[in-house]
Amino acid sequence: MKIILSQAGKRFQREWIFRNLDYEFMPGSKYAVTGPNGSGKSTLLQVLSGALTLNEGTCEWYQNEIKILPEKIQQYISIAAPYLELIEEMTATEFLHFHNHFKPFVQNLPVDFILNEVGLHHAAGKQIRLYSSGMKQRLKLAQAVFSDVPMIFLDEPCTNLDVNGFDLYYRLIDHYCKNRMVIVCSNDANEFNFTKANLNIMDYKVKTPLPSKAAE
């Protein structure tokens, strides 16, 4: 699976978030999207996931050189991000079984195994609303990394994780993401030190906003 951005630009109202972005994300490769807080990293990730459309240019997805329609792209992607909520009335076991109805897990791994891998086996039957922020982040990583998809998008993946959580994150990437595309949005080098390429969103900023109607 690969993604090709051509002269891509995204703006909100009159402010360009990024513009003139040409980039190729190749199958099985690891990428970091970097930049300061509020610079547009998450916006770019949502464009790559098909959740947002561009204002100019194109974002195209290909599987074995066959173009994938934007409305179909979600089945090829899993995401862990701060703005994606868990279903907190469910237990972790219920949540992963629910998720599994939409996306199978790699190697058809059972839910109990996955919860053990991310250190949540002791709380498998507890409602997610009772989890700590770190436990919730482990569950977000579990549903993203263990989904059997060719592309994994991780936005600030170690938010609320302690040292052991970071170790878990590295192990999940190493054990379960070797042959899959991974894109990490972060300004913390510890979250993307395994990536081979760095796209700095600041390289695609426009200094001046769109002209006002009066100026036109």
Tell whether the model's pLDDT for residue 28 goes beyond 50: yes
Does the pLDDT at position 7 exceed 90? yes
Contacts of 81 (CB under 8 A, 6+ apart): 42, 45, 140, 153, 154, 155, 156
> Which DSSP string do the residues of 40-87 spell out, in sequence order?
SHHHHHHHHTTSS--SEEEEEEEETTEEEPGGGGGGGEEEE-TTSPP-
Give the chain's mean pLDDT.
93
Return the pLDDT at 215. 46
The pLDDT value given to residue 98:
96
Rounded to whole angstroms, the Cα distance separating 113 from 88 reads 21
Residue 192 falls inside a structural domain: yes
Q: What are the b/e assignments for 54-86, b being 16+ CB within 10 Å?
A: beebebebeeeeeebeeeebeebbbbbbeeeeb
**What is the dihedral sign for C-alpha 14, 16, 20, 26?**
negative
CATH of the domain at 130: 3.40.50.300
Instruction: Give the whole-angstrom CA distance, residue 12 versus residue 54.
Output: 10
Average pLDDT over residues 66-92: 94
Is 216 domain-assigned?
A: no
pLDDT-above-90 percentage for the chain: 90
Domain contains 62: yes
What is the mean pLDDT of the segment spanning 86-95?
A: 97
What pLDDT is stored for residue 97 in this prediction? 97
| Confidence class for position 207, pLDDT limits 50, 70, 90 | low
In this structure, is residue 119 part of a structural domain? yes
Classify residue 178 as exposed, middle or buried by CB count within 10 Å of its CB (0-12, 13-18, 19+).
Answer: exposed
Domain holding 110, by residue range, is: 2-204
Flag whether 213 is in a domain: no
Strands 15-25 and 2-12, sheet pairing: antiparallel
Tell me the mean pLDDT in the region 68-83.
Answer: 93
Report whether pLDDT(149) > 90: yes
pLDDT confidence of residue 14: 87
44 within domain boundaries: yes
Is residue 79 included in any domain, yes or no? Answer: yes
% of the chain surpassing 70 pLDDT: 95
pTM metric for this prediction: 0.91
Q: Please report the pLDDT score of residue 211 as a whole number.
A: 56
Say yes or no to pLDDT of 216 above 50. Answer: no
Report the domain count for the chain.
1
Residue 109 lies in a domain: yes
